[in-house]
Structure 1
Amino acid sequence: MGFARTSAAPDFSWLQGLGGLFVKPARLQIAALCIRPGEQEPEILLVSTRDTGRFILPKGWPERDKPASETALIEAYEEAGVLGTADPRPIGSFRSYKGISNGLKIRTKVLVFKVRFEKQLKSFPETGQRKRLWLPVSKAIEKVDEPALKRFLRRHASEIL
């Protein structure tokens, strides 16, 4: 009994889905905690995610050959049109998950930099893709869904106020 030979290459696409089953080290993301004066207390900026509409801090992957604080400024601009000045050192960090296109999620460590608001532009790279929401810190804590971000904001509220 012989085996039939085919000229088609074997299909190993099913292997791609297995990647999420293995524990991966946390990936680093950089977030901007944009702060501006409010009527009763300072306000912070939340932006919606493009896929689910959850509210989060503007964040993204580190930019090659740039300080992390500069990456925070880039994310604030690209996702919300915010211009400002970033502290050179992070205020803190929290653990999160980043959804990727095939439905998998990867663990991330999010390093957060304070950004002092100077100006907000009407037109920016992700105009129309996200909602921008300025809220007092206490209201922002209620608005975010992510438990680790809630804890981060509660823990650092006194540094924001």
Structure 2
Amino acid sequence: MDGKHLRNRLWRYRNPDFLSPTGNEWHCNAPENFRMGREGERNFVEIKGNAPPKGFQRVIQSIALKPEELAGKEAVLRFEAKVETLSGKVSFAVREVDKTGKSLRYETIALTKYDKHDWKEYRRAFRISPETASIALHITADYLGAEDRVRYSGLKLILK
């Protein structure tokens, strides 16, 4: 097994329930940049940047729901985040995909260099498109430096 597949396998194995409310696997192109931790009673995931050249890291989780369970439903993406230092951007998004595999849209909450704060709750409410056949959660860290630190906790997608 090559190094990348082994790292991804280990990362999925170490992936605790608090990171994945549905219990589905996350797929990651840079697991070394996403580390689990604990602060008091709070479990969190810390997203770190890397030394130049800056790139992007992505974590994706497909949500196993039938199209009829999604189409037209109200949804809320929510999480808490603590931004210590951030020179790039960290995005939390729900990707809606049609039956042909084409992206319909992304519902996104983005953290930027202007978002420096202690723990704060973020929410985004939206209605899922009637054409949606599947959805996936995406966490993308764009162009973070080695000193950048963002923590998140309690990531949930709530369908109403």
TM score, norm. by length of structure 2:
0.25
Name the structure where strand makes up a greater proportion of residues: 2
